[in-house]
Homo-oligomer: A and B are copies of this chain.
Amino acid sequence: MTHGQDGRIDAVVVGAGLAGLTAARELVRDSHSVTVLEARDRVGGRTLDHRLADGEQVDLGGQWIGPTQDRVNDLVEEFDLDTVPQFDEGLDQVSIDGTVNEHDDALRALPAKAYAELMDAFGQIETLRTQIPLHAPYDAPDAEEWDATTVDSWKRATLETTTARGAFDALFRALFTTDPSEISLLYFLTYVHAAGGIEVITGVEGGAQERRIEGGAQQVSRLLATELGEAVQLEAPVRAITQDDSGVTVESDAGAYTGAYVIVAIPPALAGRIAYDPPLPARRDALTQRMPMGATIKCIATYEDPFWRTDGYSGFVLTNDDIVGFIFDDMDAESTTGALVGFIVSNEARTWSERDASDRRERVLDDFARYFGGQAANPVEYTEQVWSNEAWSAGCYAGNMTPGTMTGYGDVLREPQGRIHWAGTETATQWCGYMDGAIRSGERAAAEVSSRLT
């Protein structure tokens, strides 16, 4: 830990993901002393690098960055990291209710009527989302009704064909790793709006899936942690936070830490599992009961070469037919090695998280083979990350608000409770749910605490 001039820690930070590490760094830059307590034996939270046998680095966690994600792009530049564009040449495949279609623009692979319906729905989303004030979505004109409606109900009212509905489900699950039944229309629109719209959030070039960080996204956290040095304490799950007029005491498995303030930089669902003394106010506690985590299993298979490219395929698949919900080519255009990354999402992820790893591997590779031929079933290497089984994430990508939550409790999402401040991508007003949002949330929380310390 780093100490202030009077020997007391200014701020304890809970969680060494991008949000917590950014918050700590900003505080140190403002000459404050910090200790970061991390439950795991590593930093990076929901980012995780993995080195393949051939030395290539892949992401088993958060992966893509894109334009308008200014804060993560700034960090990438500052740390002198390279980025590589997501490979996106050739035919995409879309398989809804058993029929595989191909097109170089994925959704255009859908039958004309389904495509038209979906585009019309996207148009509606664009019209609606711009009515939402990002700092206070509960103030949107129709907030109450939107928040009382599940995305699934909106979908059934908006899309007629089962194909359009199936494609929407597949796309929704890819974005949220949960089902359209679980989230309110208001939260969905807010999330899309925070990313800059439906085109941006679903896009590759110019969109949220444009580039990845060479060497892996977890590097950013590792570089931040290196700067912070001994201020980062690993294997220190936080169990309790006590506060009074004089400061906070944060109890972890690695001991108790006292400070003037604490920044809790973990998802609300996990923040709710810490014991607070005095207890959190009712509405804050209620919020932590209403932002369940999504679920995903990320599966990467590597091959001698990207043979699907030769066959004219981009490697991209979107489907509601398989346990894998979507697939991307995981290597850059110049790579001679081939890699596919598939995501099992939402309920399929939770169901398959309880199966044997070997069953899962077999089934995922079967899915890959369905789109890219038998060769895809025989990778050189196969690796996976079951985020739903990670106790210190309790799911992935993020925590999402259930119906009624944004209007009922959204105003306490970022509201400090005494000496406790909140960070984490779930609290971001731009790129909520993304690495960029995590960084922004850390900066915001650090600014809040800094202003109280000086």
* Residue ranges of A at the interface with B (Cβ–Cβ < 8 Å): 144-145, 147-150, 152-153, 156, 178-182, 184, 237, 239, 269, 272-273, 275, 279, 281-283, 285-286, 289-293, 295, 347, 349-351, 353-354, 386, 388-389, 391, 394-395, 402-405, 407-409
A312 to chain B, nearest CB (A): 37
Asked whether B147 lies within 8 Å of A181 as measured between CB atoms, the reply is yes
Asked whether A351 lies within 8 Å of B279 as measured between CB atoms, the reply is no
A283 to B386 alpha-carbon distance, docked (Å): 13
**A237 closest partner in B (C-beta):** B275
Q: A282-B389, A389-B279, A394-B285 are in contact. Are A403 and B150 (CB under 8 A)?
A: yes
Give the 4 A-B residue pairs with the shortest CB-CB distance, closest first: A148-B181, A282-B388, A181-B404, A148-B152
**A178 closest partner in B (C-beta):** B404
Asked whether B402 lies within 8 Å of A286 as measured between CB atoms, the reply is no
**A285 closest partner in B (C-beta):** B394
Asked whether B282 lies within 8 Å of A292 as measured between CB atoms, the reply is no
**A182 closest partner in B (C-beta):** B404
A422 to B290 alpha-carbon distance, docked (Å): 21
Contacts of A147 in B (CB 8 A): 181
A149 to chain B, nearest CB (A): 5
Quickly give the copy total for this chain. 2
Q: A148-B150, A150-B150, A290-B292 are in contact. Are A354 and B403 (CB under 8 A)?
A: no
A279 to B347 alpha-carbon distance, docked (Å): 18
A349 to B409 alpha-carbon distance, docked (Å): 12
Asked whether A354 lies within 8 Å of B282 as measured between CB atoms, the reply is yes
A162 to B388 alpha-carbon distance, docked (Å): 43
Asked whether A404 lies within 8 Å of B289 as measured between CB atoms, the reply is no
A321 to chain B, nearest CB (A): 17
A396 to chain B, nearest CB (A): 11
Contacts of A289 in B (CB 8 A): 269, 289, 291-293, 394-395
A-B contact pairs, 27 of them (CB 8 A): A144-B181, A147-B181, A148-B150, A148-B152, A148-B156, A148-B179, A149-B153, A150-B150, A150-B153, A150-B404, A181-B403, A182-B402, A182-B404, A182-B405, A239-B275, A279-B389, A279-B391, A282-B353, A282-B388, A282-B389, A283-B350, A285-B395, A286-B350, A289-B292, A289-B394, A292-B402, A402-B402
A354 to B394 alpha-carbon distance, docked (Å): 30
Asked whether B148 lies within 8 Å of A350 as measured between CB atoms, the reply is no
A289 to B404 alpha-carbon distance, docked (Å): 15
Contacts of A347 in B (CB 8 A): 408
Contacts of A156 in B (CB 8 A): 145, 148
Asked whether B350 lies within 8 Å of A282 as measured between CB atoms, the reply is yes
A144 to B285 alpha-carbon distance, docked (Å): 29
Contacts of A391 in B (CB 8 A): 279
**A293 closest partner in B (C-beta):** B289
Contacts of A404 in B (CB 8 A): 150, 152, 178-179, 181-182
